[in-house]
Chains A and B, each alone.
Chain A
Amino acid sequence: MTYQPQKDFGTPASKASDIVTLSIDGRDVSVPVGTSVMRAAAEIDNNIPKLCATDNVKSFGSCRLCLIEIEGRKGTPASCTTPAEDGMVVKTQTPHLQRLRKGVMELYISDHPLDCLTCSANNDCELQDQAANVGLRDVRYGYEGANHLGEAKDTSNPYFDFDPSKCIACSRCVRACDEVQGTFALTMDGRGFASKISAGLPTDDFLSSECVSCGACVEACPTATLQEKAVAEIGKPDRTEITTCAYCGVGCTFRAEMRGEQLVRMVPWKDGKANRGHSCVKGRFAWGYANHQDRITKPMIRESIDQPWREVSWDEALGYAASEIKRIQSKYGRPGVGVNPLRGQNNVQGACDMGSFPHELSGYRHVSDATTRALFEEDWGVPIDSEPGLRIPNMLDAAVDGEFKALYVQGEDILQSDPNTKHVSAGLAAMECVIVHDLFLNETANYAHIFLPGSTFLEKNGTFTNAERRIQLVNKVMAPVNGMEDWEVTQALAHAMGLDWNYSHPSEIMDEIARLTPTFAGVSFARLKEAGSLQWPVNEAAPDGSPIMHVDGFVRGKGQFVVTDYVPTDEKTGPRFPLLLTTGRILSHYNVGAQTRRTANSAWHPEDLLEMHPTDAENRGLNDGDWTRLSSRSGETTLRLTVTERVAPGVVYTTFHHPATQANVVTTDFSDWATNCPEYKVTAVQVAASNGPTDWQEDYEELSEQSRRIETAEAAE
């Protein structure tokens, strides 16, 4: 698709079911009751000039460009605030209206920079478009009057600039912040001619303000006042591709706006069913990791983890991986024992749907079910074990016990994310072959023998399934810098192991899924493209998917509620560890931060901080910003303290985004009895002043440095 801005109907759609028919410039149009005249006109591609109206916020009626004449009514009402009525006869272009619009534009341009050609919004600016639309040829006020030009640009946000000299005071940013994001970070300061947009207090800039950098204001801004730095740097995009965000399970869809193979910006897609034109700072802006210098693009191998990495060809890497897998299988006489998705991922739903639990086949069918097994055995031509495999904590336990020998980790960093880091590292170190398939040499890769470079979501085709069972297409917008999409790597590994897999596109894999999984029976790439997204089950009974499941009842009939006993944790506070530690994440970082730490999102969260209530801090003689030692019976780490009433007395909180902190050195290996879900939220700890990193931190940093050494292919020759 060549570049076109997303269609803007000016005001939100009405959800009413009653229809009215009106005439606009001689053409009849039927719209739901409550639709504005502006939107009704836009429905028939009659684009009434406008500046303050945009269809993701309520109408405001301030710019006075969209005036219209209505037969039998006095005056020139604004089309954005006038609801369409049955039988209304509207004119959108008359000599009187033309004069009024030109008059409004003449006022705007008398207080606006004139160097459009060098403006970052050149040709992508609604002010410019409307000046063209109304035929403005002369600004008779001249350019010496009072103005808002020459104001300082606020460049504090790492992703967008705020250039108040270009502001037309339409309040679209303020309304987007209020109505779309709900953060209320922006306001119109002052009034009359002195009106200006402000991010909070006069002392605030965008970075220090309440702004969460979601980008709704940038998307709403009709001029270059709020604009992506990337557009200023690169220029206007020239093509767009719709794809799905690779961060969390919301499944926001975006327009990747490109110039050649260069991504210019990610703009939330208005037709996205999960996000409807909105997103957060990660999906909107934090995609720079895709081109980060840390990105590993060549396969690497080594015999033991104290050796440096050696860059090799794909053939050699895959051949080595296949031979190691076969060696271990024949030595210990056991095939694989299970695959595991980790929660919190964008496609964790999709991974679970596909049977990546150790006890299930796709569509949540237990491996003990012979009929289901037979279905797969016939299609795949291999026997399937009727016994469930291991969960990750069990795999690590088994590795420490010397019973689990090899692991293939794709796109996950269990060393940093899983509890009790010392136990994870001991498990990994005990294995004979660890294969990491990732974008970066992550923490788990410190213990790996084979590294297969991965492709980012921008570089591959496929689907992600979000938390509401919504299957959405991921579309390749640029060639994979490692040479292969991830599914191609998997297929190449299969080839190296002597298997004859011949998929030529992920759509063929989806066809296989549909063939073998009743809940996916009606899913195909063609259907997904046509419908935009589908929520499973998609089958004969629900050919367009199932937004809500169990509408009239559950499979068993009525829902059955079961009272479960509360099982308290064995983790208890006491004299040695009197505080409770809870770990979590913050908005600007994603999971272990492998991607977001390699973007400017670090501006908001450059390090993990320990949050503590003022009373607890005072009792320990600790102040805001102090280095502190956080210890539990599992281990200890050091990090800076922030004193805040966000946490209750007796509770401390930190994030696990930064490997230098390794908050999971402190967490325990307690987990719940049913699912082995780790107990990240309850660890008994003590906090004291510190004057340096712990032994673990120092040792680990040295290990990381040693483990990340790479001998390039050239150097080896």
Chain B
Amino acid sequence: MLESLEGKRGEVRAKPPLPALEGLFGKPTVVNNVLTLAAVPYILAHGAKSYADYGMGRSRGTMPIQLAGNLKYGGLFETAFGITLGELVNEIGGGTQSGRPVKAVQVGGPLGAYHPVSDFHLQFDYEAFTAADGLIGHGGIVVFDETADMLSQAHFAMEFCAAESCGKCTPCRLGSVRGMEVLDRIKAGGRAAADPVESLPQMHNAPKQGRSVDAELSLISDLCETMKFGSLCALGGFTPYPVMSAIKHWPEDFGASADMVKDKS
């Protein structure tokens, strides 16, 4: 955003320096989202303690939550941190609109993790979701019923990353496209044979056999590690959340072998 405001190519800046020290045109700059600014009047009117009394643990105050997807009552609800995921989906959202059982809930936005029903006890709290390999993100919640194909959802996450990528860092620029391709191959049941280039005798070091679904899953897992820890910003860094949570909780949607499923559980 700061690059764009300066009239430059919209790319992520490496930090440090933090914008608060060296931001727009090299001057100290405070960057806040609307959520923060919207909380200011309440805090000024009622005091910091009153605001902090809402919430739990280190997650204090309130959060506007966007309920969407396969839900009876979608919409925007502001509530204090600490409410459980189950309460949000079933009580405030009224369960699925289709009437079918919930399969997955994506929490945090398009790059949030997919949570199974067994996570419904999780309290809406930054630390609790981090501990469950998820995130609160911007508070978006999307509900899917049992007809959802989690492989397609994982693919969508990579597509989203590829479409939004600025292209500056390698894990995001190349990784998102390779991620889509690997997931496509998983859908096709892995590779029966080495590709034409690998098959050439000149490619002495390349494997001459195909790659199983398990091998492809291990590749996507390594790719997600590279993207998560290697990306310059949260786009590439968070894309692994939906992908890896989908594989972890619904390995059957990916055609993983029984051994692989067992390893994951």
Q: Which residues of A contact B (CB under 8 A)?
A: 59-65, 67, 75-76, 78, 81-83, 96, 99-100, 103-104, 107-108, 110-111, 114, 137-146, 168-169, 171, 187-188, 190-195
Contact = CB atoms under 8 A, between A and B. Distances in A.
26 contacts: A59-B14, A62-B169, A63-B169, A64-B170, A64-B171, A67-B229, A78-B14, A81-B14, A81-B16, A96-B229, A99-B222, A99-B225, A100-B230, A107-B170, A142-B211, A143-B195, A144-B197, A145-B181, A188-B167, A192-B162, A192-B163, A192-B164, A192-B166, A193-B165, A193-B167, A195-B167
A187 B232 CA distance: 20
A140 B195 contact: no
Interface stretch (B83-91, B202-210, B257-265): B202-210
Contacts, number: 124
A190 B167 contact: yes
Contact of A103 (B162, B171, B198, B211): B171
B125 to A, nearest CB: 19
Contacts of A146: 177, 181
A386 to B, nearest CB: 62
Contacts of A76: 229-230
Interface residues of B, number: 44
A111 B163 CA distance: 18
Nearest to A168: B170
Nearest to B175: A107
Given A107-B174, A191-B165, A192-B164, 14 more contacts: A65-B170, A81-B15, A83-B16, A100-B226, A100-B230, A107-B226, A137-B205, A138-B207, A142-B191, A142-B197, A142-B198, A143-B197, A171-B168, A193-B174
Given A78-B14, A110-B178, A194 B232 contact: no
Contacts of B168: 60, 62, 171
Q: Which 10 A-B pairs have the closest CB atoms?
A: A103-B226, A61-B14, A195-B167, A192-B165, A143-B197, A81-B14, A107-B174, A64-B230, A142-B195, A191-B167
Contacts of B182: 141
Interface string B226-252: 100111100000000000000000000
Contacts of A65: 170
B92 interface: no
Contacts of A99: 222, 225-226
B20 interface: no
A142 B199 CA distance: 10
A639 to B, nearest CB: 41
Contacts of A67: 229-230
Query: Which secondary structure dominates chain B's binding surface?
Result: helix
Given A78-B14, A107-B226, A140-B219, A145 B178 contact: yes
A114 B191 contact: no
B170 A104 contact: yes
A359 to B, nearest CB: 53
Interface string B173-204: 11111100110000000010011111000010
Nearest to B205: A137
Interface of B: 9-10, 14-16, 162-171, 173-178, 181-182, 191, 194-198, 203, 205-207, 211, 215, 219, 222-223, 225-226, 229-232
B173 A138 contact: no
A174 B181 CA distance: 30
Contact of B170 (A59, A63, A137): A63
A100 B169 contact: no
Contacts of B167: 169, 188, 190-195
A144 B196 contact: yes
B8 to A, nearest CB: 10
A103 B207 CA distance: 18
A75 B9 CA distance: 27
A650 B51 CA distance: 74
Contacts of B215: 140
A185 to B, nearest CB: 15
Nearest to A104: B170
A687 B203 CA distance: 67
Nearest to A111: B174
A142 B185 CA distance: 11
Contact of B222 (A103, A139, A171): A103
A5 B222 CA distance: 34
B175 A61 contact: no
Nearest to B167: A195
A698 to B, nearest CB: 55
Contacts of A190: 167
